[in-house]
Amino acid sequence: MMIYSFPPIVDNKSKILILGTMPSKDSLRLNQYYANKHNGFWKILFTLLDKPFSENYEIRKSLLTDNYIALWDTLKACIRETSADADILSPEPNDFAELLNKYPNIKVVFCNGRNAESYFEKYFKSLNIYYCYLPSTSAANAISWEKKLKEWEQILKYLKV
């Protein structure tokens, strides 16, 4: 079945872009980025930004925009029956050149996991922007939450005003 990603969460103040690969089944069902309760994405960001954790999606989106963070996926569409990136068939990339032209304050891209990084490299390595791998926040990634948090700390240096 063909599935489609969400529009980016981004505004003119965004300085960094965090990229996933494609929303999970839970995310697609709820129409929310990182809706799977076992994914550590939101917990990591609330912790790094020293804000009280919230499950309210509007507060989560505000956490991003209030802190100069944009969020999107490398893929616009694909065929996938499960939530596993390994099951992706017929990937179609999002248009990063257009996004980066529209939001020129974005200076760095962080890829949430190796699959997001691989697709970014495959389709967009030629773009003139620094990009960096971060360990996947997925519960399927066996790295400890503490180690993920430590690796994700590097986004903070790009958020200083």
Active site residues per annotation: 39
Q: How far apart are CA 25 and CA 89, in angstroms?
A: 15
Q: How far apart are CA 113 and CA 26, in angstroms?
A: 18
Residue 54: what are its φ and ψ, rounded to 5°? -140, 145
Q: How far apart are CA 104 and CA 116, in angstroms?
A: 21
Residue 22 corresponds to which amino acid? M
Q: How far apart are CA 44 and CA 68, in angstroms?
A: 16
Q: What is the largest CA-CA distance in the chain?
A: 43
Measure the CA dihedral 17/18/20/22, to 10°. Answer: -40
